[in-house]
Chain A
Amino acid sequence: MSTIYDRAADSAAATHVQVAGLRRTLFQRDPSMIIGGGLLILMIVAAVFAPLLFTTDPIVLNPINRLRPPGPEHWFGTDMFGRDIYSRTVYGTRISLIVGLAAAILSITIGLVVGLISGYVRILDTIVMRVMDGLMAIPGILLAIALVSLSGASLATVTVAITIPEIPRVVRLVRSIVLSVREEPYVEAAVAAGTRLPLILFRHVLPNTIPPLIVQATYVCASAMLTEAILGFLGAGTPPEIPSWGNIMAEGRTYFQLAPWIIFFPGFALALTVLAVNVLGDGLRDTLDPRIAKKM
């Protein structure tokens, strides 16, 4: 009945649907999204076009040029085997992004399916959620170390190890949205109209979960990249011959006082990438959820 609140509700509903309008305002509203998104695009370009960016082979050893400081020849210096840190850092972007994106996509997809079913099929809910509680109790790093020692170090193993602990968080998020959306009259109207369950989930429930999931995906992506680097640093990540940022830093650790650039450049790249993804996530959250955006 009250004007102010009617209007607020109206505008919230409107913002929800005007997809075209949303795209237009997406970047106007939040400069942080331009910064985050721009940095991330830069990283992706670097990863895809790594061979073209004045790099040399990142694994080729060149013992003569060991531990050279940054200079015109080697922009970021060389490590104890004479490998070019610039090339290794640029190629390392590939590993980080692959692990980050793969973990995000995998955990979101699996979490979405499990969450939708768990939220809508009440009989399965109790069982599924207890399994998820169990999964949540497993520390990601420990699981990764266990998996790597079981099946050997590979990119796939690391990705799986990072993905599994993220799944319960996604499931909980999706389930909570499903639980509230299934009470909406328009979902009940669809039930009364004889729409079958899979179609109800796909048509009426799923679209509500997308905006928060996109945001969640950025956080998963950022934390996956960090975990990958930690695992590499601990020596439980990708095989040492692969130039991932974690591996580069792990190898440079012993030479830290002698050649700090070995650790500095991949570390800086990692920090920058994670920051970019997080900033993008924050921006997306504010834009996709107008209620939070208004308060800020």
Chain B
Amino acid sequence: MAEREQPVLDIRGLTVQLPVGADRLNAVEDVSFTVHAREILCVVGESGSGKSVTAHTVMGLLPRRQLVPTAGEILLQGEDLLRKTPGEMRALRGARMSMIFQEPMTALNPVVRVGQQIEEVLEIHTSLNARQRMARVIEVMKAVNLPEPERLVHSYPHQLSGGQRQRVMIAAALALEPALLIADEPTTALDVTTQAQILRLVKDIQRTHGTAVLFITHDFGVVAEIADRVVVMQDGRVVEQGVAEDVLRRPQHPYTRMLISSVPSMKPPARPPKTAAPVVLETEGLTKIYKDGGFFQKPRIVRAAHNVELQVRRGETLGIVGESGSGKSTVARCIVRLVDPTAGHVRIDGHDIAHLPPGRLRPQRRLVQIVFQDPYRSLNPRRTVGASIVEGPINFGLGREEALVRARDLMKLVGLDPEALDRFPHQFSGGQRQRICIARALAMEPEVLIADEAVSALDVSVQAQVLKLLDDVRARFNLAILFITHDLRVAAQICDRIAVMYKGEIVEHGATGEIFHAPRHSYTRDLFDAAPGRDFDFGRFQAA
């Protein structure tokens, strides 16, 4: 580029102060970067890195009095946003910069028709009359590829799918052709196939409208997919920035290298098949049907799982892969008997537990343990982690002293300080809590461990550690692990075999290597095509 034009967004030395008593002084410290027209800049970082605070500062959406910008300037087309009055900022928001959020359901008002929500932007910022506004609404809805915009304008958000809602958000953001679009993890809450469509849409828009896009994400797959340039943030500071290709292939900063090499590869490592080991967990014709509706309504029937057949051998990890609503969690909950299966058999060590009454089920509970997705809700906040770990063993007749000895051993095993047993869950990070949950499950000495999206809520570097821990305990205790995930990368790394679920049924099933190299079912192929950054082999750095 011969002549550098003025950047759309130019952040110089931005510092945002955290309230007193936080774990560090500033949420964001001395952050500088620029976004040019027709450019997608990805800001990547783990939770707590300050990437969202940066985006919210630009929009002037910081929680008042809690987070205060103390230094630097934010130039939007040359004008410093930090000097604007709230009124001036209001005029800018929507018109010259706009933002889309992570959760399209909560970002839209559930009781206002979507057309009206897009129209609102026009009503506030333009002098168009009602008919012109409606025409423009339909135009932008077409631009974001919403089907039948004339009909959809009258729909309420709950009548749309997650992907359609995010499209509506994008349509509203684009209605006034802003110079800058800020996207804060816009695809994190979406399924991978929907995510692929939204990413394509963002790219198209940036190309056709010349919009500058500031894209916040934690996912390097997404970065590889859409970024022109990348800014890597750690603990509120920019540690590295550059052209996407350079940062991803030749990262300079050790933190970036660590982050990128933590991204699980799409290439499954070779794993010896474990055909000799005995089958510990087996389901046969497992079916769960949810019925809804009271006395007077027509019952709504949802087939959450239909005729699911699984076999997991001792020492083996079986992955169940699928998008939200595919029934993978239902299968897990049926096996743990948190819900009662409608039909079929669940055999643990040959004993069918699918329809045991509570009294006879209880002794069998020890054999199957589960680790949940959300580390913040998996432990009772009012009880010490020690009390949480020993609860199960004590239920099964172990003395408190012996149970505590076992808990201490397990804390060591999962890589935590045994002295921390007296602490409460909020004193631990997400990854540490997930380790505690694994320790709690292992304290029962189970035969089968179910990990229901157990690493999905964790940052990528922590995720890699917890995955390794899971693999270690599997080998050490010769456990059968049922690993439920939506993330193909994670599945590739940890699973011996994979079952792909779609609409409550298993559509494909086989060794991980086979599935990844030659997916047979069309849905499996769609899943693989949608995986962001699938062609990118993270962690194989070229010499700098």
Q: Which residues on A sit within 8 Å (CB–CB) of B9? A: none
List residues of chain A with CB within 8 A of the CB of B378: 185-186, 189
**Cα distance A1–B382 when bound, in Å?**
24
Which residues of B approach A to under 8 Å, CB–CB?
22, 27, 47-53, 56, 62-63, 67, 102, 184-185, 188, 218, 336, 338, 362-363, 365-366, 368-370, 372-374, 376-383, 388, 391-392, 395-396, 424-426, 437, 440, 444
For B338, give the chain A residue with the smallest CB separation.
Answer: A188
Q: Which residues 1-42 of A sit at the B interface, judged by CB distance below 8 A?
A: 1-4, 6-7, 9-10, 13-14, 16-18
Contact pattern, A 163-179, Cβ under 8 Å of B = 1, otherwise 0: 00000000000000000
User: Could you tell me the distance between the alpha carbons of A6 and B48 in the complex, rounded to whole angstroms?
Assistant: 8
Q: Shortest distance in angstroms between A156's beta carbon and chain B's nearest beta carbon?
A: 36
Which residues of A sit under 8 angstroms from B102, Cβ to Cβ?
Answer: 1-2
Q: Which of A192-200, A228-236, A264-272 contacts B (4 or more CB under 8 A)?
A: A192-200
- DSSP majority for the B interface? loop
Q: For residue B373, which residues in chain A have a CB less than 8 angstroms away from its CB? A: 185
B47 x A188 contact (CB < 8 A): no
| B27 and A3 form a contact (CB under 8 A) | yes
Not counting A2-B184, A3-B52, a sample of 12 additional A-B residue pairs whose C-beta atoms are within 8 angstroms of each other reads A1-B185, A3-B27, A4-B62, A4-B63, A14-B426, A16-B382, A186-B378, A186-B388, A192-B370, A193-B365, A193-B392, A195-B392
The reply to whether B338 and A3 contact each other, CB–CB distance below 8 Å, is no
Q: Can you pick out 21 interface pairs between chain A and chain B where the beta carbons lie within 8 Å of each other?
A: A1-B188, A1-B218, A2-B185, A3-B27, A3-B49, A3-B53, A4-B52, A4-B56, A6-B48, A10-B376, A16-B381, A17-B381, A17-B425, A186-B377, A188-B338, A189-B370, A189-B440, A191-B338, A192-B368, A194-B362, A196-B362
Given known A-B contacts A3-B50, A188-B372, A194 and B366 have beta carbons under 8 A apart: yes
Given the known interface contacts A4-B52, A9-B376, A188-B338, the answer about A193 and B381 at a Cβ–Cβ threshold of 8 Å is no
Residues from 44 to 67 in A contacting B, C-beta threshold 8 Å:
none
Interfacial chain B residues near A186, Cβ < 8 Å:
377-380, 388
Q: Please give the distance in Å from B287's CB to the nearest CB on chain A.
A: 21
Question: In the complex, what residue of chain A is closest to B358 when comparing beta carbons?
Answer: A197
With A9-B376, A16-B382, A184-B377 known to touch, is A3 a contact of B395 (CB < 8 Å)? no
Distance to closest chain B CB from A108 (angstroms): 19
A128 at the B interface (CB under 8 A): no
Q: Judging by beta carbons under 8 Å apart, are A204 and B380 in contact?
A: yes
CB-based nearest B residue for A19: B382
Cross-chain contact of B372 among A7, A16, A189, A196 (Cβ < 8 A):
A189
- Chain B residue numbers with a CB within 8 Å of A18 are 426
* Chain B residues within 8 Å of A203, by CB: 380, 383
Which residues does chain B contribute within 8 Å of A6, judged by CB atoms? 47-48
Q: A139 at interface (Cβ–Cβ under 8 A)?
A: no
Chain B residues whose C-beta falls within 8 Å of the C-beta of A204 in the assembled complex: 380
B366: chain A residues at CB < 8 Å are 194
A193 touches B444 (CB 8 A): yes
- The reply to whether A192 and B377 form a contact with Cβ atoms under 8 Å apart is no
A276 to B396, alpha carbons, bound, how many Å? 49
Of residues 111 to 170 in A, which have CB atoms within 8 Å of B's CB atoms? none
Considering the chains assembled together, what is the distance between the CA atoms of A195 and B362 in angstroms? 9
Option from A3, A188, A192, A196 in Cβ contact (under 8 Å) with B48: A3
Q: Given the known A-B contacts A17-B424, A192-B338, are A185 and B374 also in contact in the complex, defined by CB atoms under 8 Å?
A: yes
Bound form: Cα–Cα A18–B67 in Å: 24
Q: State in angstroms the CA–CA spacing of A188 and B380 once bound together.
A: 11
Tell me the bound Cα distance from A184 to B363 in angstroms: 23
Q: A207, B382: Cβ atoms under 8 Å? A: yes
> Cα distance A191–B339 when bound, in Å?
11
- Chain A residue nearest to B459 (CB atoms) is A1
Q: Are A194 and B52 in contact (CB under 8 A)?
A: no
| Cβ of A126 to closest chain B Cβ, rounded Å | 9
How far apart sit A188 and B333, CA to CA, in the bound complex (Å)?
A: 10
Chain A residues with a Cβ closer than 8 Å to the other chain, count: 28
- Nearest chain B residue, comparing its CB with the CB of A5: B52
Compute how far the CA of A143 lies from the CA of B44 in the bound complex, rounded to whole angstroms: 65
Report if A105 contacts B (CB, 8 A): no
CB of B69, distance to nearest CB on chain A (Å): 14
Set of chain B residues within 8 Å of A190, measured between Cβ atoms: 380, 391
Residue ID in chain B nearest A191 by CB atoms:
B338
For the complex, give the distance between the alpha carbons of A186 and B368 in Å: 16
In Å, the complex CA distance between A18 and B392 comes to 25
Instruction: Find chain A residues with CB under 8 A from B374 CB.
Output: 185
CA distance A189 to B378 in the complex (A): 7
Bound-complex Cα distance A1 to B460 (A):
11
Check if B395 sits within 8 Å of A194, measured CB to CB: yes
How far apart are B173's CB and chain A's nearest CB, in angstroms?
A: 17
Closest 5 CB pairs of A and B: A193-B392, A2-B52, A185-B372, A194-B365, A185-B378
B425: A residues at CB distance < 8 A: 13, 17
Question: In the complex, A2→B378 CA distance in Å?
Answer: 20
Which single residue of chain A is at the shortest CB-CB distance from B427?
A14
Q: In the complex, which residues of chain A have a beta carbon less than 8 angstroms from the beta carbon of B437?
A: 189
Assembled-state Cα–Cα distance A6/B392 (Å): 30
Contact indicator A10/B426 (Cβ below 8 Å) = yes
By a CB distance below 8 angstroms, the chain A residues around B338 are 188, 191-192
Chain A residue numbers with a CB within 8 Å of B188 are 1
Chain A contacts of B377 at CB under 8 A?
184-186
Distance in angstroms from B380 CB to nearest chain A CB is 5
Q: Which of B369, B374, B424 has the most CB of A within 10 A?
A: B424
Interchain CA distance A160-B102 in the complex, whole Å: 52
Identity of the chain A residue whose Cβ is nearest the Cβ of B67 in the assembled complex: A4
Contact between A195 and B67 (Cβ–Cβ < 8 Å)? no
Shortest beta-carbon distance from A57 to chain B in Å: 50
Q: Could you tell me the distance between the alpha carbons of A6 and B62 in the complex, rounded to whole angstroms?
A: 14
Q: Is B395 touching A195 in the complex (CB atoms < 8 A)?
A: yes
A1 to B457: give the CA distance in the assembly, Å: 8
Shortest beta-carbon distance from A29 to chain B in Å: 14
Which of B27, B47, B437 has the most chain A CB atoms inside 10 A of its CB? B47
Nearest A residue to B61 by beta-carbon distance? A4
Cβ contact within 8 Å between A195 and B391: yes
Note all chain B residues with C-beta closer than 8 A to A196: 362, 395
**CB–CB B52/A17 < 8 A:** no
Assembly CA distance A3 to B53 (angstroms): 7
Alpha-carbon gap, A246 to B51, bound state (A):
63
Q: How far is the CB of A294 from chain B (nearest CB, A)?
A: 9
CB distance from A217 to the nearest CB of B (A): 20
- B227 to chain A: closest CB distance in Å? 17
Q: Give chain A nearest CB distance to B113 CB in angstroms.
A: 27
Given A1-B188, A193-B392, residue A17 in contact with residue B382 (CB < 8 A): yes
CB atoms of A192 and B47 under 8 A apart? no
Closest partner residue, chain A, to B370 (CB atom): A192
Which residue in chain B gives the minimum CB-CB distance to A208?
B382
Provided the pairs A2-B102, A6-B47, A193-B444 are in contact, do residues A17 and B391 lie with their beta carbons within 8 angstroms? no
B264 to chain A, nearest CB (A): 18
Nearest CB of chain B from residue A197's CB, rounded to whole Å: 8
Docked complex Cα distance between A4 and B188 (Å): 16
Q: Is the CB of B392 within 8 A of A194?
A: yes
A residues less than 8 Å from B368 (CB atoms): 192
Which single member of B52, B63, B395 contacts A193 (CB below 8 Å)?
B395
Question: Which chain A residues border B185 with CB–CB below 8 Å?
Answer: 1-2
Give Cα A3–Cα B47 distance, bound, in whole angstroms: 6
Q: Are B369 and A192 in contact (CB under 8 A)?
A: yes
The contact string, 1 if C-beta is below 8 Å from chain B, for chain A 203-243, is 11001000000000000000000000000000000000000
- The closest CB in chain A to the CB of B185 belongs to A1
